[in-house]
Amino acid sequence: MATTNLDLDNATITNLAPQIQRRQISPRELIEATIQRMERLQPILLPFITPTPEHALMQAKEAEKEIMRGDYRGPFHGIPYTLKDWIDAKGVPTTFEGPRGPAQHYMPTESSTIHTLLKEAGGILMGKVDPGIGIERDLGGPVGCRNAWDPTRSPGTSSSGSGSATAASMGLGSIGADTGGSVRHPASNSSLVGMRPTQSRISGFGVKASPLTCDQAGPLTKTVEDNAIMMDILGVYDPKDPASVNEPRYDHRAWLRDGIKGMRIGVPVDDWVWNDWLSEEEEQVVRRAIGVLEELGASIIDVRVPLSGESRALMQAVGGGGALYYLEHFTEEQMAAWPEVRANLEASLQRPLKDHFQAVLKLTNVKQEVEAVLKEVDVIAMPTGSTYGDAWDAETATIRGRTVPARSRAVWRNGMASVCGHPAVSVPCGFGNDDKWPIGLMLHGQRLQEPLLYRVAYAYEQATGWHTRHPII
C-alpha cells in the first residue's frame, strides 16, 4: 500500500464528499490513508475490538468503480466509519465487551438496520470499536481505549471507542449507543459532536441493548453538518423495530444556516446542573458558550428543570425490562463470564413491583415537567456530563475539593434527555486544563426536534471554530 499525503486531521464528511463526487479523491485513497492511521494509532489508543481493514479496502475499490461509472450514492459514499461493538454487522463479530465478553463467539448472520442503511449509502466500515464501560477491566482483560487528546485520560464511559476512533480520524463518523449519555459524554471528552436522537428515531434492530429502557443509538462526528448527514441516513422508520418512530425522513441540514436570532435558549438555574459534580473550569467554559449564543441573537431565559440526580436512579428503577433482555439473550455459559454484571441484573429483577410502578409514575411526571419547560423555550442549554480530566482507569474524581464517583457524574446531567426520550446533542465549546482538555455544551430539545438542535449547534460551531482544532498524536 502506497503512502498517501491525504490530510485526515482536517478531513470531514462535508469537505470530502464533493471531492469524492468530482473524482478528485478516490475512496481507495481515503481508505488506504485511514488504514495507515489505524496501523499507527491502534496500539496507542486501542479503540478497535474488531478492525476490518481488508474488507474496507475491498469496499473502497468497489465504491471507486461505482463513482467512476457515475453511480454516486450521496455524501456518505466512500466515507469510512466505525460501529460500537454492540451493533451487528453481518460477518463481523459482536463480542459484547471485547475478547472476554459473554458473546465473544457470536457472529451475526444479519446486519443491524444501522449498518444496512450506512452501507446502502456507500459508507465503508473500518471495524467495531470499544463499548468502553469497564467490564473488560473487571474481567482481567484489556484496559480499554484511550483518549486521542491525551492517552492517559478517559475518552468517556460507554461508546468510548467511537469517541477515540473518530477524534483520531480512524473513521470520519461512528455510531455509539446512549443510555445515560454514552454518545454525548465521549463526544464531550473528545471534542466531537454527539447526537442522542429522539427515543427510537434510529432503529434498534440488531443493536445489543435493550429497547425497553433508555438505550438509543446516535452518531458521533467531527462537525455538526457531518452529524446531520448521518442522521439524514439513519432517521427512518424501520418495521423490524416495533418501537421505531413512524415519521417521515427529515432533511436535517435544511435549516442549518438560518441562524438563531430571536430563539429562546433556556438555561437551568438549578443547583444540580451547576453543582460540585462539575468543575469550576467546566462551568466557566460552558457559561461563556451560552454567552456566545446570546451574542448570536438568542434570548437567554432562566428555567428550572425538575430532574436532579434522580435520573440515574430512575433509569435503574425502570430497567427491569433491560435486565430481563440481557439475561434472556445470553446463555448460562456466556453469563458465567460476567458474574458481577449478572448479579446486578438479577438484583434489578428482585425489586418490588411497587418500586417499579412508583418509578414509572415519577418518570411520567418528570417528562411532563420538562416538556412544560420546553413549551416556553426552544432549547435548553447546559453542560454535557463529563469525566473531565479523569484518568482512563479512574473510579473516582476530585471535584471542588470533594471525591465523587467518576461514572456517576458523567450521567448526572445526561440522564434528563434519556428518561424523557428527548433528543440532545453535545457540541465542542472549548478547552480547559491549560487549554488542552475538551469540554462540551449540551443542547436539549423537544421530541423530533433534531433539526432545531443542529441549527443552534451549527450557529455556535461556526461562530467559535472549536471544530477546527485536532489532537496531536
pLDDT at position 397 is: 72
C-beta separation of 94 from 88 below 8 A: yes
Instruction: Give the model confidence (pLDDT) of 159-215 as tens digits.
Output: 899 999 999 999 999 999 998 888 999 999 999 999 999 999 999 999 986 545 678
Place of cell 473500518: 126
- Give the dihedral sign, CA 80/81/85/88: negative
What's the pLDDT score for residue 196?
97
* 310 band by pLDDT with thresholds 50, 70 and 90: low
pLDDT at 329: 62
CATH topology of domain 13-468: Amidase signature (AS) enzymes (3.90.1300)
Confidence of residue 434 (pLDDT cuts 50, 70, 90): confident
Task: Give residue 72's pLDDT.
Answer: 97
Residue 139 in this model has a pLDDT that exceeds 50? no
Q: Which among 58, 33, 223 has a CA at the least distance from the CA of 125?
A: 58
Give the pLDDT of residue 260.
98
Taking only Cα atoms into account, the Rg of the chain, rounded to an integer number of angstroms, comes to 21
Percent of the chain with pLDDT over 90: 60
Where does the pLDDT of residue 323 fall: very low under 50, low under 70, confident under 90, or very high at 90 and above?
low
- As annotated, the active-site residues are 84, 158, 182
Q: Which of 450, 31, 76, 437 is nearest to 256 (CA)?
A: 450
Given a contact cutoff of 8 angstroms between Cβ atoms, the answer to whether 127 and 48 are in contact is: yes
* Cα separation, 242 vs 257, whole angstroms: 35
Cα distance between residue 370 and residue 360, in whole Å: 15
Distance CA 78, CA 33 (A): 13
Q: What is the pLDDT of residue 180?
A: 80
Q: Is 468 exposed, middle or buried (0-12, 13-18, 19+ CB in 10 A)?
A: exposed
C-alpha to C-alpha distance for 253 and 455, rounded to whole angstroms: 8
Nearest to 192 by CA among 216, 160, 214: 160
pLDDT at 133: 54
- pLDDT per position as a tens digit, 232-276: 999 999 999 999 999 988 999 999 999 999 999 999 998 888 876
**What residue spans define the domains of the chain?**
13-468
* Three-state SS annotation for the chain: CCCCCCCCCCCCHHHHHHHHHCCCCCHHHHHHHHHHHHHHHHHHHCCEEEECHHHHHHHHHHHHHHHHCCCCCCCCCCCEEEEECCECECCECCCCCCCCCCCCCCCCCCCCHHHHHHHHCCCEEEEEECCCCCHHHHCCCCCCCCCCCCCCECCCCCCHHHHHHHHCCCCCEEEEEECCCCCHHHHHHCCCEEEECCCCCCCCCCECCCCCCCCEEEEEECCHHHHHHHHHHHCCCCCCCCCCCCCCCCCCCCCHHHCCCCCEEEEECCCCCCCCCCCHHHHHHHHHHHHHHHHCCCEEEEECCCCCCHHHHHHHHCCHHHHHHHHHHCCHHHHHCCHHHHHHHHHHHCCCHHHHHHHHHHHHHHHHHHHHHHCCCCEEEEECCCCCCCECCCCEEEECCEEEEHHHHHHHHHHHHHHHCCCEEEEEEEEECCCCEEEEEEEECCCCCHHHHHHHHHHHHHHHCHHHCCCCC
User: 58-71 pLDDT, tens per residue?
Assistant: 999 999 999 999 99
pLDDT band at 445 (very low <50, low <70, confident <90, very high): very high
Cβ neighbours for 159, distance < 8 A, ≥ 6 positions apart: 84, 131, 132, 174, 176, 177, 178, 182, 183, 185, 186, 220
Which residue from 125, 112, 122, 47 is spatially nearest to 86, judged by alpha carbons? 112
Query: pLDDT digit string (tens) for 18-53?
Result: 999 999 999 999 999 999 999 999 999 999 999 999
Pair 374, 366: CB distance under 8 Å? no
* Residue 135 pLDDT: 40
Say if CB 8 and CB 37 are below 8 A apart: yes
Residue 141 scores a pLDDT above 50 = no
Q: What is the mean pLDDT of residues 362-385?
A: 89
Q: Give the contacts of 44 (CB within 8 A, at least 6 positions apart).
A: 146, 151, 473
pLDDT tier at 420 (50, 70, 90 boundaries)?
confident
